Amino acid sequence: MKKIIFSILSILFMGIFTGCLDKFEEVNSNPDKLYQTSAQLILPGTIYRTMNVYAEMNYTKLLNYSRGGRVAYAEIGLSESDINSYTTAFYVNILRDLLDLETQYEGIESAENRLMMIKTWKAFVYSIIVGIWGPMPMSDAMIAPNKLDYKYDTEKDMYIQIFDLLKTATERLNPVSANDDFLNPDPVFGGAARTNIEKWRKFANTLRLDLALRVENIDKALAEQQIRECMEHEDWIIASVDDMVQPTWGSTIGSDVSYYYTRLLQNLTDANLSESTYPRIGQYMFTYLRSYNDPRLEKYVDRPGYEDRLIINDTINIIRKSEYSGLDTTLNVISRHTVPYAPGQEHPGTPQTWEAGFDPNSNNGAGTGRYQNPYGGIPKKGWAYVNISFLDKNAKLNFLNWASACFIKAEVKLKYGIGQKSVQEYYEEGITASFRQYGISGEELNAYMAQDGVKWGTNGKGLDDYMQIYFADINGADNPLEQIVKQRWIAEYFNGFAGWILERRTRIFNFPPMLYNGSQGLEGSNGRFDYPPERLIYSINERSTNNDEYEKAIQLLQAASPKGDRVNRWGDNLWTHLQFAKVNPGLADAEAKWTGRVFVWNQHALQNRYGKTEEEMIKIAQKEFSQITDTTGLQIYLKYTIEEIIVPRP
């Protein structure tokens, strides 16, 4: 066969290679990118493209919508050009090639494993599409060249087709196959090594189980059928860090590096670093982590240098020798010091129709001044930016992690009584799995799991956010599902799609809406607040190229929605709930609840980061700065001062 020398992912990145090869050809490239058949050549390319579009949507939309992260420039808005690029990426650049590969390999006995990998990835891509848009083309998509009048399938029909793909894959993937039916290298499982078929089977079965929970609100019987079949092979579910679906980008700039590196890091300097474009941890995720002393915070965000940190007021106890008695005396004081993490505010400034309350300690106790935004004046490099490990050239992109697999089983056991272990065991395994993913020690894990709210079957009182409108409570004694869902959301950090799906299907969090201090200009918005979109709009191109089927798709969408909206944007809008979602309970009293409020800015989630005594401050701060051994060290590295002794009122 003819030998062609090139770097396949370079070609994919430049958009030159956009379709399948008609013939199997040998391809020589560098040792880590040796492909010998069409599947070896093309499937890694579709995976790479999937990673990029998934990351782009995460950065520009879903990170904010999941309430786990914050990219200020993205806000809530959508542009039709974005939607067109997303649908093109999925259907033209990914699914078209997968369909061609599937057609080539169907019926070839010696290519059974590769065919099942193709079906699994195809099912995964469609699971993203249906979770974002609702009814979309699937059964009729790309079945003939230049076909334009393709129909849209209902959500339920799409899930049934996806289940069929995944069931077929789990049943026919053969780990003991003696022939050469594998990928080498495998971009999902194995890196430069050959395919691990068992891990592909776990991927397919775990994804199917996860989607079964997603369709509970569509068809409970269908969901239970899928759950029971998946749990018949509990050993076919992700059970280690190595099993996780987390393909890795490459390290060759201009070829296969991560989307985030190209978008954010490649040309980043101190001068152009901007908190409006560089992703930060979100206020609500941060508040949950701080409420329960979660050591994963250290893994989720980068710690700024001591000179760039936010300075806050805190209340602590100190021990000083009394000038009168000469004895040690405990004093309650207001101190000032820096903190290492400042989360991204959702909407800085005062929301429209709201006003900050009066601070009784303002103006020398006169109480005539209003509370001030505690995040004012933060140095540009002082924010709690997403840890660079999530963004760097060869970052891993976690599509489906071990922790989530455990929490899925916990939810299944809770609702259906299916599974070899108890709900508590699955739940605790999920937390353990997340900690292991980030290399956190057993001692810290044990301390975390002993806390009320984290400990199974207990309630935990959390801190409030910076506007005192949301509390990070975890009510496990009252609602065990709440513990499972909230821990899964925390473990899915920086996976905006997973977090967005989780909240819409469960409505466990009941987050506040996104509050504005200026008009958003969105069709259907009241200009003062909006809950995150329930879906993305369809490509506007459909109105000119496939209008009849597009109109039918809107009818399917609205007919199945538990809370439709037929007015805005002729029914194809952001606010229509997808069929799998529960109705957002916050909508019932939104106008009254989120209009004309008096609120209090606060730093509660930032305070006592270093404990509640001066002694604790020294001990905890030493973990960051080994030079700190006394109050002098605190003064140098934390800019520590004592502002006022709090005298109890008579």
Q: What does the pLDDT look like over 102-117, one tens digit per residue?
A: 998 999 988 999 999 9
The pair of structure tokens assigned to 142 is 């790309």
Q: What's residue 75's pLDDT?
A: 67
What's the DSSP call for residue 184? Answer: S
Q: What's residue 649's pLDDT?
A: 56
**355-356/598-599 β-pairing:** parallel
- Region class of 43: left (phi > 0), else alpha (psi between -120 and 50), else beta: alpha
State whether the Cα torsion 483-488-491-494 is positive or negative: negative
Report the distance separating Cα 472 and Cα 511, nearest Å. 10
Report the distance separating Cα 611 and Cα 590, nearest Å. 37
Q: Taking CA 381 as the corner, what is the angle to CA 375 and CA 385, rounded to the nearest 5 degrees?
A: 80
List, in order, residues 6 or more apart from 279 with CB less than 8 Å away. Answer: 59, 63, 69, 70, 71, 264, 344, 385, 386, 391, 494
Q: What's residue 13's pLDDT?
A: 31
Q: What's residue 192's pLDDT?
A: 61
Which residue matches tokens 């997403």? 386
Report the distance separating Cα 314 and Cα 608, nearest Å. 7
**27-28/4-5 β-pairing:** parallel
Report the distance separating Cα 232 and Cα 75, nearest Å. 43
Q: What's residue 14's pLDDT?
A: 33
Rg of the chain in Å (alpha carbons): 26
List, in order, residues 6 or more apart from 523 with CB less than 8 Å away. Answer: 568, 569, 573
First and final C-alpha spacing in the chain: 94
Name the 3-class secondary structure at 598.
Answer: strand
Other beta carbons less than 10 A from residue 257's beta carbon: 21
Flag residues of the chain having pLDDT under 70: 1-37, 75-78, 142-147, 178, 191-193, 518-523, 649-650
Q: Which is nearest to 34 in space by CA: 141, 186, 177, 165?
A: 186
How far is CA 313 from each of CA 47, 602, 608, 620, 640, rounded to the nearest angstrom? 48, 10, 10, 18, 10
**In this structure, are residues 105 and 119 in contact, taking their beta carbons and an 8 Å threshold?**
no
**In this structure, are residues 642 and 318 in contact, taking their beta carbons and an 8 Å threshold?**
yes
Strands, E, within 487-542: which ranges? 514-515, 529-530
Q: What's residue 195's pLDDT?
A: 80
Q: What's residue 12's pLDDT?
A: 33
What residue ranges define each of the domains in the chain, with the CATH number in brackets? 43-298+374-561+576-606 (1.25.40.390)
Name the 3-class secondary structure at 643.
Answer: strand
Which residue matches tokens 């934390």? 638
Report the distance separating Cα 428 and Cα 416, nearest Å. 19
**In this structure, are residues 69 and 281 in contact, taking their beta carbons and an 8 Å threshold?**
yes
